[in-house]
Structure 1
Amino acid sequence: MPTIRSAQVNEPGGALRIVERELPEPGRGQVRVTVEACGVCRSDSAFINAVFPDVPFPLVTGHEIAGRIDALGDDVAGWVPGQRVAVGWFGGNCGSCRGCREGDFIHCERMQVPGWAYPGGYSEAVVVPATALARIPDSLTAVEAAPMGCAGVTTFNSLRRSPARPGDLVAVLGLGGLGHLGVQFANRLGFETVAIARGSGRADAAARLGAHHYIDSTAGEVAKQLQALGGARVVLATAGSSAAMSTTIDGLRPGGELIVLGADPEPIQVSPFQLISTSRSVHGHPSGTALDVEETLHFAALTGVRPMTETRPLAEAEAAYQRMLSGDVRHRMVLTTGR
């Protein structure tokens, strides 16, 4: 029986270890993908530490997958072996719940996330539902495409569905794994783009990413600095700090929206007085469907948006994971398989 290598965690909080597993076969409506690259996302730590419910162990996580179709199961149409594909946080939907019946697939009650619902991309091959597939443009490498399945689609999709229009002032809070993509997408979508981060040392990097303005959050009130620029139509909160998010609300113009992407269990501090008279709002946004991922990849290919990445081979998955947790990597860590 053919085998593949996978980085596996045997118990909650355990280390990633390379194991040999049987090559999985696709069932009805499924495809097998040979993994070329897989992003190491901070959300993976929630699976490894069993923060989410019903996480199965032993566990192979990873939901920022890029590779090629290797085999098709029965009743799969529109896809062919050898085709370049990505699979992100959206790893398939049930098709029968209320959300799916309304066409709102990202809110499927039984949405499948790779590395949670089934073995994920820290592996040389994965089997996924065909509904999870997104086409990768030829101009993007697998390493560039992989983070777009989660970090990329989350930032692009939230901005294009926001109330902001070309020429509006849009601020991106944070310049990390999400934020550095958010600044690029905001610029390419035609927004007057503000980057907000800690310290003056990030200003040049923000400008290279496409920011028209930079706000050092340690050098005065963020809200006043946003209002001095005219007030933000949207603040895209990518930093995982509720306290930092709270400081931006008074920087929104009337009708402005704080879009929450960064995860923090602490509450955002906002008074009704900050919202009522100005019609401001605080809005959460999930990632996006497989079609949204495909459209994100297409837009990135057209406009030159690229993730900043650091790569490690699959055999060094534990070291890559620990480096991601340490915060030493400002942007995206990606595992490669050499396939």
Structure 2
Amino acid sequence: MALDGTVRTRGWAVGTPGPAADGPLVPVDRAVGGPGPRELLVEVEACGVCRTDLHLAEGDLAPHRAETVPGHEIVGRVLAVGEGVAGFTAGDRVGGAWLRGTCGVCRYCRLGRENLCPYSVYTGWDADGGFAERTRLPADYVYPLPAEADPAQLAPLLCAGIIGYRALRRSDLPPGGRLGLYGFGGSAHLAAQVALAEGATVHVLTRSPAARDLALSLGAASARDAYDDPPEALDAAVLFAPVGDLVPVALAALDRGGTLAVAGIHLTDIPALNYQRHLFQERNLRSVTSNTRQDGADFLATAARIGLHATVTRYPLDDAPRALADLAADRVNGAAVLMP
């Protein structure tokens, strides 16, 4: 709080996008203001560092506005409530996620597919996010969170968990099926726990030895290098690594009728596919685009029911550039979380 009563926040914004090791984040100290209509002013307790934040900082995703504060896995306490907000009061713990707003009237919104809304906006891309001490969030798009839980444990659930959950559903994994997970970071290690709780056999394929060890400790049946063959044909697979070269690898590992869901917002170019080897026999290739609020509610309920546990590496807010660089270099086991 400034001397004149203005609410201010310290944090980090994306300056000139570039490699994480070169420091694209710049420190900021700016007024955040009180909550507008249907908004909450939130004191950030923890914010996960998502690969989408890395894509924004490195320029894989074009900025939507200059010097935006990234971060969309936000756990915090309500400081103030704006006009027209119902269901939240000061002191409540809430979660802010990637999806920040939709039009509510387009054909996609009316069909319950708000993740495809052409007018959707996103936290940390279209408006300041959680790499900061305080932020404002739209009340209609936040989630109530348990008051006594560890905020660092909750933070990765708000995007890594929700997107992994949607990707899992998009993969059409049958009951008791064989699932391959390509890449095993913040999102995949949460999706794996959901799949295992639902009776799936999980095979993890990733380049990181530490991630392979984590996968086995969580109950994966096998853990191999990303370009290796799994020990058996797969009913479903999810590609979490943003590596287009892995698309034909994963498709070739599918059994007849299997589905590969690509979970990321960014993917390097996919090499040429061979129809007979990669797609014939009704193998399917699907993308995953954002999430609906219902996805978030369903996943958070599932996470509470199965006792999902996030593996996290905590960083002080002042170390946000190091957290981003560690994520880029695969030095984070599980999920990175900033603690203001």
Selected match of 2:81 from 72, 75, 81 = 72
Seen in structure 2, the aligned counterparts of structure 1 residues 49 and 55 have a Cα distance that, compared at 3 Å, is farther
Q: Deviations over 1:61-95 (max 9, x none)?
A: 11111112222211122222222111111112122
Per the alignment, residue 32 of structure 1 pairs with 41
> Cα offset for 1:276?
5.7
Structure 1, 293-302 or 125-134: larger mean CA deviation: 293-302
Per the alignment, residue 91 of structure 1 pairs with 100
> Cα offset for 1:16?
2.7
The question of 1:3 aligning with 2:8 is answered yes
> Cα offset for 1:156?
1.5
Per the alignment, residue 116 of structure 1 pairs with 125
Selected match of 2:51 from 37, 42, 56 = 42
Per the alignment, residue 158 of structure 1 pairs with 167
Code of the aligned partner of 1:324: L
Give secondary structure in 1 for the equivalent of 2:252: helix
Give 1:175-324 correspondences, 5 Å limit. Answer: 175-198=184-207, 203-217=212-226, 222=229, 225-226=230-231, 229=232, 231-262=233-264, 263-274=266-277, 277-324=280-327
Code of the aligned partner of 1:237: L
Code of the aligned partner of 2:281: T
Distance in 1, Cα, partners of 2:150 & 2:288 = 27
> Cα offset for 1:138?
4.5
Contact 2:171 2:237 in 1 (8 A): no
CA RMSD of aligned residues (A): 2.3
> Cα offset for 1:285?
1.2
Seen in structure 2, the aligned counterparts of structure 1 residues 269 and 138 have a Cα distance that, compared at 3 Å, is farther
Per the alignment, residue 3 of structure 2 pairs with none
Contact 2:182 2:205 in 1 (8 A): yes
Give 1:316-335 correspondences, 5 Å limit. Answer: 316-335=319-338
Identity %: 31
Contact 1:64 1:149 in 2 (8 A): yes
Query: For this pair of structures, how many residues does the alignment match?
Result: 330
Distance in 2, Cα, partners of 1:28 & 1:6 = 24
Give unmatched runs, 5+ long, in structure 1: none
Contact 1:131 1:290 in 2 (8 A): no
Distance in 1, Cα, partners of 2:77 & 2:117 = 26
TM-score normalised over the length of structure 2 = 0.88
Contact 1:172 1:236 in 2 (8 A): yes
Give unmatched runs, 5+ long, in structure 2: 1-5
Seen in structure 2, the aligned counterparts of structure 1 residues 41 and 74 have a Cα distance that, compared at 3 Å, is same
TM-score normalised over the length of structure 1 = 0.88
